[in-house]
Structure 1
C-alpha cells in the first residue's frame, strides 16, 4: 500500500522558516494545521482543496506541540471540519484552556527571564510583544499518550522543544510525497517541487512527522520555547537518542514542522554536534569572564550579540539550558540563584 502525503507550506513567519502542514487524504488526517489568522487559514483551505478534499472530509487534526505557528489554526479547522483535535496530554491544556493558560505562561516566562538575568525592561518588552493569538479562549482537545495510535499513526513522546512535544510515526506503509506551494514561496524555490522527484525520494520509506523535534536546516530551540521544562537540554538529547535508536536513518523520511521532507540520515548527529559546539562556546564565554560569574543573559549576549523580542527569550533560554547541563556534568559551578550566576568550576578536570 502507498500512502499519499501532501505538504502545505505557509511562508516565512518564524525564525525556523516556512511552516509545514501535512495531509493524509486517504485517512482524513491533517497534521500541524499552521499559524492562526485569515491569510494562513485560506492557504490551509486552498491546500486541502488542491488535495481533492473538503474540510468535512477531515476526521483527525493532530498537533505536534502547542506553539501557535503549529497549533494556531487547529481549533478553527477542527470546528469547520467537525473533526477531533488531538494533542499530547502535556501540551493540550495550552490550547484547550488558551486564555487562562496564556496568563500563566506569561507569568512563568517573565519569572524565568528574570532568573536568567534578563534586564527588566527587556522582560517587559518580551511579555508585551507576546500578543494574544486569534484563537478561542477554550477549545475541545482530546489527549494523546505515548504509544497511542490514531488513524494508523503512532504517538511518540519527543520532549525538549516543548514539554509535551510529540511525533507521529506512520505504521501503515510506504509513501508518496506531494508538495503544495505556499503563497510566499517555498524555501529555495517557487513553492512547488517536481512531484515525480518527490515520490522517488520518499517512496518505500517509513514516515515520521517530527514537528520541531528535528529540522533539516535549523537547530530547534531548547530552553526558551517552553519554560515549563526542567533540564531541557538533557531532555532533548534523550529525544534525539530515542529517535536515532528507534528509526533506521537510511529508511525513514522526516516530515518536519518547517521546510520540506528529508531523510533522517545523519541529521540527528549534526544536531548533537551543534550542541557539543555550543557547549564549548559557553565554557569559553565563561572563561573569558573569569573570575567574575556570569548570568545566562550575559552569556547569551556574548554568544549571540544584541537580542530583542522573542530572540531574547530564546537566546537566554538556550544559554541557560547549556549552563544547567554543565553544572550537572560538574564542569561549571552555580554561585548565585537570584539571578542565576555561573562560573568555571576550578575543581573540574
Structure 2
C-alpha cells in the first residue's frame, strides 16, 4: 500500500516481509533527487509490491536516483542490489560488510557469538540456532555496496535541509534522517509506536574492540531525539506518530522497570548466567528466539552493571551475575 505521508512529497510504501516483525515501510522522497529510503527484503513478493506501488506514483524503479539505508537489517536492505547499477547508495559505513557479504567479517561474527554464547551459558543447540538464524537472514540480501557514506550530522546529498544522525542501539549501522525545517524524522527501527525496538547485540566491527553495550547506546540515541524539535516520526514498521518525546520517556521507563525486575530475580537467586535469566524471563520464547531474548537480557544486565546494582564474576568459562551484598 502506498500512502502520502507528508505534503512535503514523502510517500510511504508498505511491503510484506517473511519475518516475525511483519510488514516494513519504505519511503519515497520527491526532493531535488528522487530518493528511496530503505528497500524491503529480497523476496519476489516484496519486489512485485514495490514495483506496483512505484508505478502508482508514476515512477519506474530505474527512475530512482538514490537509495538511503537506515540500517543493515535484511528487511531494510534486501533489495539494494535492484538499484545498485543506476542509483547512488547512501548509508552508514557499518552497512558495508553486510552488503558486501564480507566472508572474513561474517566469520568473525560467528566466532563472536559462539564465544558470547559460551560465556552466557547458552546450550550448544541454541548457540547453533543463533548462528543458523543469522545465516538465514543473509539469504534476503544480495551483494551490493555503498557509493556514499553518511556520518553524524551530515547534510544529505540531493535532499536540501535534511541531515543524517547516527543512532546506534537497535543496529550499529543505524541512522535517522531529519528535516530541519519541518521536524520530520524518517526513523527506520529507531523508535516504533506499537512495539519497543530490541537493542540487538552485535559483534564489534574491529575484533580488537569489546562488544558494544547496545542498550546503553540505544538509551543515548533516544535522548538525542529529545534534543531535536521533532514534529512527526515516519517509522520502519507501523503507523507514523507525533509527540515522540512522550514515547521516548515511556520506553526509557519500561527499560528501567525491566532492569529492576531482573535485579530482583538475581537478588533472590544470585549466581545466574545471562541465559538463566533469559530462560526465566522469557519461558515461552527463549528457545524460538534465543538471539533476541539474549540481547534483551544482556542489555539490561549491562544497565544494572553500569549503575552499580550488580556484579559479574567468572565461573569456569561462564559469567555469572550477583547483587552486591
Q: TM-score, structure 1 length as denominator?
A: 0.81
SS in 1 for 2:303: helix
The count of corresponding residues between Structure 1 and Structure 2 is 306
SS in 1 for 2:15: strand
1:273 corresponds to which of 253, 265, 274: 253
**Aligned equivalents of 2:261, 2:195: Cα separation in 1:** 18
Asked if the contact 2:77–2:141 (Cα under 8 Å) also holds between the matched residues in 1, the reply is no
2:53 corresponds to which of 47, 53, 75: 47
Residue by residue over 1:65-120, the C-alpha shift from the partner in whole angstroms, topping out at 9 and shown as x without a partner, is: 111111111222333xx001111022333213455433332332332222222111
1:24 corresponds to which of 26, 29, 33: 29
SS in 2 for 1:163: coil
Moved over 6 A (4+): none
Asked if the contact 2:198–2:292 (Cα under 8 Å) also holds between the matched residues in 1, the reply is yes
Question: RMSD of the alignment, in Å?
Answer: 2.1
**Aligned equivalents of 2:226, 2:245: Cα separation in 1:** 10
Asked if the contact 2:39–2:79 (Cα under 8 Å) also holds between the matched residues in 1, the reply is yes
Query: Which residue number in structure 2 is paired with residue 317 of structure 1?
Result: 295
- CA shift at 1:13, angstroms? 3.6
1:147 corresponds to which of 153, 156, 162: 153
Residue by residue over 1:137-195, the C-alpha shift from the partner in whole angstroms, topping out at 9 and shown as x without a partner, is: 45344221112222232110101111121001124x5xxxxxxxxxxxxxxxxxxxxxx
Query: Which residue number in structure 1 is paired with residue 14 of structure 2?
Result: 9
1:175-194 matches, cutoff 5 A: none
Asked if the contact 2:199–2:295 (Cα under 8 Å) also holds between the matched residues in 1, the reply is yes
1:153-302 matches, cutoff 5 A: 153-171=162-180, 173=181, 205-224=182-201, 226-228=202-204, 229-248=211-230, 252-263=231-242, 264-290=244-270, 293-302=271-280
- CA shift at 1:339, angstroms? 1.7
- CA shift at 1:218, angstroms? 0.8
Q: TM-score, structure 2 length as denominator?
A: 0.87
Residue by residue over 1:199-241, the C-alpha shift from the partner in whole angstroms, topping out at 9 and shown as x without a partner, is: xxxxxx42101111101111111143x3335221211111011
**Aligned equivalents of 1:140, 1:244: Cα separation in 2:** 30
SS in 1 for 2:289: helix
